[in-house]
């Protein structure tokens, strides 16, 4: 019998208990799944970083920590974590992110904001370019960034991707490192930020880097709030360097009512809805890793804690 500890807030247990049990049964895995198991008897920890479990030292038998979130920045620095950590790469979350990103890229590409509310100045014709005439840059070519890049390629956009390490995505111009960053910024008529939150990416979009983007560029951030220097973005919007920004993630969430993003006419705030983990598909991912652990196979979606993602 495998012992699986569910270490997350009570409302998560309500959401995940039935899908996890169903996924375990479908995989033919006999397991004791509970919120309360003696630490030295736990084989796997299904985990949310905001749970009460912060000291992994007593979990001497555990084979892996299986994160319920895509984000792992709140756990990678935990010095008591000595066993493999897998982040959540959920097919449902990925599809949701692709749809959200594609929708907002098309909104900017077609200039839809000008037509959502009938303009008071009457009939104005402005034909948008074709997708093949517009370059979209995806900053971050992990699972989510790659999926978004492929979807935009399918619509005919010229797509560039930038990442810290070298990547290869068919049809995408892949850039990396400091030299590649400058090139990516120069290309970014529409920028989509899907980088992890690490010390190396904090305030990556600042006064200097925003100034390197084409004048009148659009910025879409469904990745992490700290990627953007808020004050620098507001200044770039006021100066016309950035035409408009759609932001789904923020340093503090919910975004405080006094934050200037709410009132800025060139900012669209969405309430962290770009992608949400679906319990049914996420449970299948978790169970797949448990199955792999029991078979002695490599875990999927492993995190390199030294890099932070």
Residue 74 Cα distances to 54, 64, 146, 208, 261, angstroms: 10, 17, 24, 28, 25
The active-site residue out of 109, 158, 224, 244 is: 224
Please report where in the chains the tokens 């992110």 appear, as a residue: 97
Is the peptide bond between 154 and the residue preceding it cis, with omega within 30 degrees of 0? Answer: no
CA distance 195 to 137: 12
CA distance 259 to 233: 13
Is 61 annotated as catalytic?
no
The active-site residue out of 21, 272, 278, 292 is: 272
CA distance 247 to 228: 10
CA distance 124 to 114: 10
Query: What letter would DSSP give residue 120?
Result: T
Residues labelled as active-site residues: 224, 272
């Amino acid at each position: 019998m495998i012992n699986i500890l569910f270490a997350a807030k009570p409302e998560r247990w309500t959401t995940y208990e039935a899908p996890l049990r169903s996924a375990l049964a479908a995989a033919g895995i006999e397991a004791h799944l509970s919120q309360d198991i003696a630490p030295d008897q736990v084989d796997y920890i299904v985990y949310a970083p905001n749970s009460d479990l912060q000291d992994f030292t007593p979990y001497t038998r555990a084979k892996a920590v299986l994160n319920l979130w895509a984000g792992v920045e709140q756990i990678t620095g935990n010095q008591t974590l000595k066993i493999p950590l897998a982040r959540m790469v959920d097919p449902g979350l990925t599809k949701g992110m692709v749809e959200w990103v594609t929708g907002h890229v098309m909104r900017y590409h077609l200039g839809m904001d000008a037509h959502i509310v009938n303009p008071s100045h009457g009939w104005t014709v402005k034909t948008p370019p074709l997708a093949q005439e517009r370059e979209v840059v995806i900053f971050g070519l992990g699972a989510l960034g790659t999926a978004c890049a492929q979807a935009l390629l399918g619509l005919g956009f010229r797509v560039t991707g930038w990442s810290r390490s070298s990547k290869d995505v068919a049809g995408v111009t892949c850039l990396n490192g400091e030299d590649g960053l400058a090139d990516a910024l120069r290309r970014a008529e529409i920028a989509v930020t899907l980088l992890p939150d690490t010390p190396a990416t904090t305030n990556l979009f600042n006064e200097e880097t925003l100034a390197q983007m084409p004048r009148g560029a659009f910025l879409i951030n469904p990745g992490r709030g700290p990627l953007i220097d808020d004050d620098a973005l507001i200044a770039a919007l006021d100066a016309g360097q950035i035409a408009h920004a759609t932001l789904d993630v923020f340093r503090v969430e919910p975004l405080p009512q006094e934050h200037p993003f709410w009132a800025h006419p060139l900012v669209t705030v969405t309430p962290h809805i770009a992608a949400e983990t679906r319990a049914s598909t996420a449970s299948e991912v978790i169970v797949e890793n448990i199955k792999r652990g029991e078979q002695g196979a490599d875990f999927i979606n492993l995190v390199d804690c030294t890099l932070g993602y």
